Structure 1
Amino acid sequence: MSGTMRAFVLTGPGAGGVQEVPRPVAAPGEVVVDVERAGVCGTDAEFFSGDMAYLRSGHTTYPLRPGHEWAGVVSSVGDGVDPAWLGRRVMGDTMIGDGTCRRCRRGRQHVCEARQEVGVRDGRPGALAEQLAVPASSLHALPDSVDPVLGALVEPGGNALRAANAAAVGDGDRLLVFGPGTIGLMVAMFARAAGAEVHLMGRSEESLRFARSLGFAHAWTEDELPDLPYDAVVDATNAARLPALAADLVEPGGRVVYIGLSATPSTLDTRTLVLDDVTAVGILSASPGLAATIEAYASGAVDPRPLVGATVGLSDVAAVLAGAYPAGPAPKVHVDPRLD
């Protein structure tokens, strides 16, 4: 094996391609993973466009190697790592805390001030590559029933599961989800598995038809949305005006969950929350939901594989990020670095 590998590298807004880079070496406490699948995320597209907030805050700089939704096989381990990891199929947590701060000690490493983020913050190259190195402590083993496609859907699924859990809906409850993209549809899948009646609101008829093809009959544009009591509303969009609409539409005593991020600040009248006794929850990161997501996939309770509309090689990533790759109704694109 040569000392280099192929990886997708962003060199600036709108600029990036496949480069030969040094292969990672497992440092003490780390493993190297041969990547089988990696998902292309909206965050990656924001890095490509230059709109991602971390670029302005200084948490991330070009050049950068994106990719934080992945699955693969452990090919080497560093000092201090149990050799039993070798050959295991795994996925990994994106958020890597410093392990010493108060938040990390309380199990909240995903909001550690000094955290690294695989493929997102400086210091941790991402998974749009043939290999990546990650701490062994971030790994989650994948059972045989969770194939590489499902494995690379664990990270977005963990975010969605946390949002669905925060909505706290079940039998007899009605949930409204804004945004029938990858996260919104996954939220809908987890909520349906919990017994809730799920409604989805979107903009394009194509995305709504796709939602209906997955068994979500209640898929509407905003103008078509029926006047019904919604026990919870999840906003999985990037529209600055929709957080306020979520608070307006939810039933008094209900819950609104915010998992989407807009490019500009949203305005929300907190009097709406107070006077209607509404609980508002923000969701950042899949970290606390990864294990439960793997269990849901392994049991067959939730199967998001239909959301993957295409699997491409590294050389196609730039076109995908630029929106030029032919896309069907399924919202997720996966990358198999072995295809090129």
Structure 2
Amino acid sequence: MRAFVITGPGRAEVQEVEPPVAGEGEVVVEVERAGVCGTDMEFYSGAMTYLRTGEARYPVRIGHEWAGVVRETGPGADPAWLGRRVTGDTMLGCGSCARCTGGRQHLCADRHEIGIRNGRPGALAERLAVPARALQPLPGSVDPALGALVEPGGNAFRAVHAAALEPGQRLLVIGPGTIGLLAAMTAAARGAEVHLAGVTGRSLEFARSLGFTRTWTVDGGLAGTRFDAVIDASTGPGSPALALDLVEPGGRVVFIGLSAEPSLVDTRRLVLADVTAVGVLSASGGLAGTTELYASGRVDPRPLVAATVSLDEAAAVLAGRRRPEWGAAPKILIDPRLP
């Protein structure tokens, strides 16, 4: 089968590789869509932290946001999965440690991450092997594009849940990229008053096109404004401190974005304002809720998709090259079936 393989920093190609075989408790999925995100771009550039820690090494087969149809089941996997459209959890814990048995498999020290950690192949390929226990079924109203957006949506879903807002309360989302916009959509569906802050006018203009009229630039206009909760979905090293500056005393700050360099937060300000700070890693635990939001139509993230391209165009996308006609929408999807 054809698969996209990153062989080193700035080097990648589509290769013919052996198709996966469903092992014990696994299924094989025919991939219909796979999303490209910032983590994938870091693998391509060589900036991904796991490459330095030894948790990943080249060659890497990326792709952890995906949707497809189950075509094979292995021993111990329920054959009722055959023919069903699914997505799945990226985080695959060992299943036996205290974290896994306590429902925190996404924090397992020995976990594999699809397309990311410990050599587990990803979904930028025609087929993907996945443990059946990690699958999330998709109803008929959730098409392949929506299905590939469940994983990033699950991250946003968990961030909004951690913000613990009541209807009508004010939320600021810093970083109007895919995760930030999905968090804004999810919070709006729950009745929050959503504000967005970003760096570029282009990204904020796109946010306004989605109906988010309360937008700000991070370097102006926010002084003296307070929010019941702040979600930092940016990669800016100064954003965590800014979030703390802008949250109401007694409020909550949720960190889901990661900076390439350490971020500094004055914990005295955290303590003296009685602020709750929460970190969110992965969509684990948020996939079912996100699927329900998409299926009901309360959240429709399809406007976030700028284009759907083939495996042969993946390297250009990872290098940041975008066609002008794609506009400002942040997400690029890959269809491995395209020639």
| Same structural fold, with TM-score higher than 0.5 when normalized by the shorter chain | yes
The question of whether the paired residues in 2 share the 8 Å contact of 1:29 and 1:81 is answered with yes
Aligned-residue offset at 1:9: 0.1
2:331 & 2:279 partners in 1: Cα distance? 23
Within 5 Å, which residues of 2 pair with 1:44-83? Answer: 44-83=40-79
Aligned length, in residue pairs: 336
Is residue 231 of structure 2 the alignment partner of residue 237 of structure 1?
A: no
Aligned-residue offset at 1:227: 3.6
Aligned-residue offset at 1:312: 0.3
1:89 & 1:169 partners in 2: Cα distance? 33
The question of whether the paired residues in 1 share the 8 Å contact of 2:156 and 2:186 is answered with yes
Amino acid at match of 1:46: E
Match in the other structure for 1:191 = 187
Match in the other structure for 1:305 = 302
Is residue 260 of structure 2 the alignment partner of residue 258 of structure 1?
A: no
Report Cα offsets for 1:125-157 as digits up to 9, x if no partner. Answer: 000000010111111110001111110000000
Aligned-residue offset at 1:81: 1.1
2:170 & 2:225 partners in 1: Cα distance? 9
Q: Structure 2: which 5+ runs fail to align?
A: none
1:141 & 1:186 partners in 2: Cα distance? 20
Aligned-residue offset at 1:226: 6.2
Match in the other structure for 1:328 = 327
Match in the other structure for 1:214 = 210
Aligned-residue offset at 1:85: 0.7
Cα RMSD between the aligned structures?
A: 0.9
Match in the other structure for 1:118 = 114
Match in the other structure for 2:15 = 19
1:323 & 1:29 partners in 2: Cα distance? 37
Counterpart selection for 1:103 from 99, 106, 117 = 99
Counterpart selection for 1:150 from 146, 168, 185 = 146
Counterpart selection for 1:170 from 162, 166, 176 = 166
Counterpart selection for 1:28 from 13, 24, 34 = 24
The question of whether the paired residues in 2 share the 8 Å contact of 1:170 and 1:191 is answered with no
Within 5 Å, which residues of 2 pair with 1:217-296? Answer: 217-222=213-218, 223-225=220-222, 227-296=224-293
Q: Structure 1: which 5+ runs fail to align?
A: none
TM-score when scaled to structure 2?
0.98
Give the % identical residues: 68
1:334 & 1:7 partners in 2: Cα distance? 15
Report Cα offsets for 1:152-200 as digits up to 9, x if no partner. Answer: 0000000000001111113221001100000000000011111111110
1:227 & 1:17 partners in 2: Cα distance? 50
